Amino acid sequence: MSAAAEVPRLRRRGHAVRTVAGTVAVLAVAGGVAWALLPGPSSPAPAVNDQVPLGSAAVERRDLINRQDVDGTLGYAGTQTVTAPAAGTITRLRPEGATVTRGRSLLSIDAKATAWVLYGRLPMYRDLGPGVTNGSDVRQLERNLAALGYDPGTVDADWTWMTTAAVKAFQKDRGLTENGTIRRADVVVSDGPARVGAHKAEVGDQARPGAPVTQLTSTTPDATANVDAGIAASVSPGDAVGVTLPDGRTVRGTITKVGTVATPGQNGAAPTVALDVALRSRRHGRLDGAPVTLSLATGNTRNALAVPVTALVATAPSAYAVELAGSRRLVRVTLGATADGWTQVTGAGLTAGTRVVVPR
């Protein structure tokens, strides 16, 4: 629809014109479009139209939230790459999008299961078995063994004979060599149930140690965007975000990370900053990599006395008024913040609850 088609129908009383089709300036207000009702100096006065249906709206106290829409990409948080622990033929890969829980493997090489998922935050940086020095990685392994039903004794940083016995029981149930040692290359540490991301190799491919095989992500959907550094300065982790999906549905999200290093723009473009948003809903299907629109709150005027922008009457260039319902009296107003189809006003006698005239 063209901009002119969105303008309310003309209404005029004397020299006060609610809207003028000849010249209309659009205020670029995030989250909505406000019409700045500016009569064109060279435009003829519009004809009187007394057939415009009118109604009224109450002046309100409300928060005016300025919004900025930016392009983003749907994905999942916490991506990590899973590499091959040994050379051989990839004989099994879990399908992309599958969820893998603690104690299950992600793939097989030469028909031997590997890449066992354990929960925690400390990466496996050494093999764990009898004789290892104490450490927080031992506690993390024992915690996993206990959660899987194997008794390592007291869950602590000490490796004991009970830890060895629990590891051997874990290995026996999975058809592994029962040596009581967990190799670092055979374990993938995740902070919870993990989702298989994009494969970097396929079943039948020859793997070599350390080569990427697949990706692992969290099960939390997110969206990422590179936003203008000026916009990034106006948002913070924890801010609510509206996320419009490719099918037009909107879900809620929360900013989880705002980058601290700006990337220079190309060909004179403004520098950008990376932004991560966690989605609060999982009703987005399997649209990994799909484009989305993020509606960011870049400013908030709290408890503003506000009227719908359609209530404004242009009485002169840059001069505005509202018409009091039932009185046909105009009250001059000074405008403030504008957002979501409402504008902040101050004017003699205007209070919350005062009714003003608006087009229906």
The predicted pLDDT at position 52 comes to: 66
Q: How far apart are CA 241 and CA 321, in angstroms?
A: 34
> Positive or negative CA dihedral for 146, 151, 154, 158?
negative
The predicted pLDDT at position 5 comes to: 31
Q: How far apart are CA 143 and CA 163, in angstroms?
A: 10
Query: What six digits make up the tokens of 232?
Result: 């990034």
Residue 6 has pLDDT above 70, yes or no: no
Query: Which residues, at least 6 apart from 358, have a Cβ–Cβ distance to it below 8 Å?
Result: 54, 55, 56, 57, 308, 310, 311
Q: What is the pLDDT of residues 283-300, one digit of tens each?
A: 655 667 889 999 998 888
* Better pLDDT: 9 or 271: 271
Q: What is the pLDDT of residues 240-257, one digit of tens each?
A: 999 998 888 889 999 999
Query: What six digits make up the tokens of 3?
Result: 């901009």
Q: How far apart are CA 341 and CA 318, in angstroms?
A: 19
Give the CA distances from residue 114 to residues 176, 183, 199, 213, 243, in Å, rounded to whole numbers and listed in that order: 9, 10, 16, 12, 38
Decide: 33 and 26 in contact? Cβ < 8 Å. Answer: yes
| Least confident interval from 159-168, 224-233, 349-358 | 224-233
Query: What six digits make up the tokens of 297?
Result: 């709150």
Q: Could you give the domains of the chain? A: 4-65+301-359 (no CATH), 69-76+220-300 (2.40.30.170), 80-218 (1.10.101.10)
Closest C-alpha among 245, 196, 235 to residue 72: 245
Q: What is the mean pLDDT of residues 43-50?
A: 39
Q: What is the pLDDT of residues 78-137, one digit of tens each?
A: 889 999 999 999 999 999 999 999 999 999 999 999 999 999 999 999 999 999 999 999
Record the pTM: 0.64
